[in-house]
Amino acid sequence: MIDVNEVVKNLTTDDIKEIMTSIGGENYIEHKNEIIFPTICHNHYAEDGSHKLYYYKNSKLFVCYTCCGTFNIAKLL
């Protein structure tokens, strides 16, 4: 059986960017420690979202500063 949390832990930053691009988050801003995506977590269309969805490379967690809170990539998909 596949452990989702184990898979998430092994994803690289490049994997995250690839996944996010494939679900409409290609318009991101990358910094040293985090990547800022449009808030595709609660906006159906990326162009409706502001850049308030942060991905932290160290913790491998997303934080939506509008409403959704903290979650990993598995929850987002």
Instruction: Return residues touching Zn ion (CB under 5 A).
Output: 39, 41-42, 64, 68
Least distance from C-beta 68 to Zn ion, angstroms?
3
Least distance from C-beta 75 to Zn ion, angstroms?
11
User: Is 2 or 67 the residue whose CB approaches Zn ion more closely?
Assistant: 67
Least distance from C-beta 49 to Zn ion, angstroms?
8
Give the bridge partners for 37, in sequence order.
53
- As a whole number of angstroms, the distance between CA 44 and CA 49 comes to 8
CA atoms within 13 A on the CB side of 66: 14
Tokens of 36: 């800022």
